[in-house]
Amino acid sequence: MAQLVCASFILFASLHFHPLVASAQAYAGGDLDGQVVFGLPAQEIIAVTFDAVSNATFPIKGYNTSIPGGPTDGTGSQLPGWSIFIGVAANVALAGSDDASVDKGQFIETTGLFIEPPAAIPVNYDTNSWRICAVIFAHGLGSAETNTAQTAQLDGSCTPLLPSECIEQLQVNSVASNSSTDDGCPDLDMPDVCAKHFSGESGTAYEITPSNDTTAPADDHRLAFFAAASVPTERDNDSAFASAERAVWPVLLTWTHRGAGGQAHDSAGWLSCIKAPNRIETERVGSSGGAEAVKRVSKWALLFGMGAAVLAFVA
């Protein structure tokens, strides 16, 4: 008997450093409370990206997370109103860093990623009934795909940048990997069909929970789940800021509805390719309440009614 194996994932409490990461030099994900980026609290990094001068919001479709755990319920799927937000902020000072190895006179460009539920959906959903996972491919897309993204009409999906077979395989794999009753979110290896289109070989998974709302203002229900920073440099480094804006972030969201015993009833995967739009002439400050958000309609990419016949291979 051959059975689908899902490797359990323990959310990293520490920061991951990847010197060769194309889109960031340091980052933290998941529950950002207590994590640091270059010696600065990750929540402080996120705070300056809420109203960043360079930002974009992309509508997505998610689940009705107010539905308790139980059998499949079609009213929980394909719910419009969810969105994914990216903000890029410049000139974040390292003067308050607790890292002795950091030059306190330097600055970083920061990127924050968030999701936001529809107004009718409570932020404080039941994590025993729902699991929301975000797999971040922090090394970014390949150079050709990144170049295309600079002029493509991005709608929040990856359709303009990746072949359909790559998108489908990533989404199928993400749904399958979240079929177990294990806690946490599993990392995801890169399928062969996608290898030449990405710079890295895998994606790191983070669980998004209601606790991610603690980094937001009281009237803002965005759930911050990822904070990244460029290599420290001097203030007003136009090249560093342009590089942060140029970065394309592939984010694979997986929504799983569970029963009382923890088994998966429904799950769906959605792959987004997002970037903050380039600003040709704008004041280079950390944040600006008047920044225009780019909004485009995207399509629900994948919805599976899950059961033993779909998620387990039994010989």
DSSP 111: E
pLDDT of residue 118: 86
pLDDT at position 70? 64
Give per-residue pLDDT as tens, 178-216: 766 566 789 999 999 999 999 999 999 999 988 766 655
Cα–Cα separations (whole angstroms), residue 289 to 69, 114, 279, 285: 39, 17, 15, 11
How far is C-alpha 175 from the chain's CA centre?
16
User: For residue 76, what are the contacts with CB-CB under 8 A and spacing of at least 6?
Assistant: 63, 64, 65, 67, 257, 266
pLDDT tens, residue by residue, 1-35? 332 223 222 222 333 333 334 445 899 999 898 99
Nearest to 62 by CA among 124, 118, 129: 118
Is 294 a residue whose pLDDT tops 50? no
Is residue 283 within 8 A of residue 252, CB to CB? The reply is no
Give the residue-averaged pLDDT of 107-128. Answer: 86
Tokens read off for 106: 């330097």
131-179: pLDDT as tens digits = 889 999 999 999 999 999 998 878 888 999 999 999 999 999 988 877 6
Q: Which secondary-structure segment (H or E) carries 94?
A: none
Q: Is the dihedral of CA 64, 189, 173, 303 positive or negative?
A: positive
